[in-house]
Structure 1
Amino acid sequence: MSARIVSICTVISLLIGVATFYFQFRNDMYENLYQKKFLTGKWSNDADLIINSKDLGLNNNEPLVTIQMNVDDDGSIDGEIISEGLCDGMPLTWSITFNGESPTFKNFVFARKFQVRQLVDGAMDKSPVVATLKLIEEDRKHKSLTFEVVDDPARMLPKKFTVAKDLPKFEENYKYLQEYCADSTLEFFKKRAIERKNTMHNPNPS
């Protein structure tokens, strides 16, 4: 009888051990897949004040870009991206999102893709994708990411750019880009007003 109890206890202990290993393994896998702690935050590419900017892969010749990312519980990403090119290309709004679907295990092999969307009719989730980016390099040591732009019909973004996390001039850069976007919108409406005025004065140009 005691031998049977010992056998049952051994089996139970084995099952508990297997379950513990499985859940730990699963949690580690999803942590590496979702990268919630690493990706969530403020990213930009202004190398000013960074003495080892080359280690981060930053290049001051690249157009200024800021990205804010938040990784949801399912690993999907909701965020915002802003640059002069995006604002000039979409002057009616500078509510421009940076989104990524929940990653799968294939993303351990294939690069993860992100979509840039513009706010249309008060909806973001169903708004049109204006550009698609592919994450081609991660440097966890220096907290930097390199993206390749794989689809950008309006050519609003550089073909490739690198951003790093929590750079000292992020807030200054973000404020500058917000103001630039506001000016871009104002210039757009001024230009349209002039065009309408010219059309009214010259309804049938020869």
Structure 2
Amino acid sequence: MKHIKLGKYVLIYLAGFLTSFSGVLDSLVKIPLSYEELKKSYVYDNKFLTGQWTTNAEYLANSSELGLDPSQPKMTLSMKVFEDGSASGEMMSEKICDALPLTWNIRLEADAPTFRDFFFNRKFYLKQLHKGRIQTVAELELVNKDRKHGSMKFNVIGDGTGALPKKITLAKNLPQYISDFKELSDYCGESPIQYWKDFYPKRGKNIHK
């Protein structure tokens, strides 16, 4: 009887151990899944970054809550985040288009994030397509994300164009985006024409010949 009771306790102990161990294994299995979700939510920022952004807070009552400075130049950004977490979007302002008049492809991009991006500001790069090659013309870092109000702030840490302010704050899905985008698209469409009009007279040539 003593051996039977002892065996009973051993079985109960083993059952408890296996149940606990199973829970540990289940937690270990879920770690990669949790890590992936963490990256998507806080590092990739898929939902937050994807959208239409502008610096224009005209007709907006809570512009101060968004952190938008009325003195900022009018800028638009149409951003998309891809499956691997990399991001890319068309960025426009009058000064950017004047500084880069010979391309229709001016984009703000970020590489797929790494573990480093949990602890340091994420880097973004302003790029242009010029003579068949992608060139990086400016470097920015994302220093603040206000998910509550839908705004984000960049510091410009390197600018080869001279067209960017030192700080840029954009807000998402504002009512002025569509009109801002059209206005800047029209302006940027004229930039190459204006460039060549200025280019030839400086060299003593008549553009109308």
Same fold by TM-score greater than 0.5: yes
1:29 maps to which residue?
38
Cα distance in 1 for partners of 2:184, 2:37 equals: 38
Q: Which residue identity does 1:89 align to in structure 2? A: A
Larger Rg: 2
2:143 maps to which residue?
136
The Cα shift of 1:189 comes to: 1.3
Aligned ranges 1:29-178 → 2 under 5 Å: 29-30=38-39, 31-123=41-133, 127-178=134-185
Counterpart pick for 2:191 among 153, 159, 184: 184
The Cα shift of 1:154 comes to: 2.8
Q: Aligned-residue CA RMSD in angstroms?
A: 2.2
Q: Deviations over 1:54-92 (max 9, x none)?
A: 000011211011111111111111211111111000111
Matched residue of 1:155: which SS? coil
* Cα pair 2:102 2:130 within 8 Å, conserved: no
1:204 maps to which residue?
none
The Cα shift of 1:16 comes to: 2.4
* Cα pair 2:96 2:161 within 8 Å, conserved: no
Cα distance in 1 for partners of 2:123, 2:113 equals: 9
Q: Would you say how many aligned residue pairs link Structure 1 and Structure 2? A: 195
Q: Deviations over 1:6-51 (max 9, x none)?
A: 478524454224323x144213321211110111111111011210
2:3 maps to which residue?
none
* Cα pair 1:82 1:94 within 8 Å, conserved: no
* Cα pair 2:150 2:172 within 8 Å, conserved: yes
Cα distance in 2 for partners of 1:41, 1:143 equals: 10
Q: Which residue identity does 2:51 align to in structure 1? A: G
Deviates more, 1:148-157 or 1:163-172: 148-157
Q: Deviations over 1:128-157 (max 9, x none)?
A: 111111111111111101111111133111
Cα distance in 2 for partners of 1:113, 1:136 equals: 9
Q: Which residue identity does 1:93 align to in structure 2? A: T
The Cα shift of 1:122 comes to: 3.6
Matched residue of 2:144: which SS? strand
Cα distance in 2 for partners of 1:163, 1:175 equals: 17
Cα distance in 2 for partners of 1:90, 1:178 equals: 14
TM-score calculated relative to the size of structure 2: 0.84
Post-superposition, which runs of at least 4 consecutive aligned residues in structure 1 deviate over 6 A? none
- Using a 3 Å threshold, how does the CA distance of structure 1 residues 52 and 189 change in structure 2: closer, same or farther? same
Cα distance in 2 for partners of 1:121, 1:187 equals: 19
Gaps of 5+ in 1: 201-206
* Cα pair 2:81 2:88 within 8 Å, conserved: yes
* Cα pair 1:113 1:132 within 8 Å, conserved: yes
Gaps of 5+ in 2: 1-6
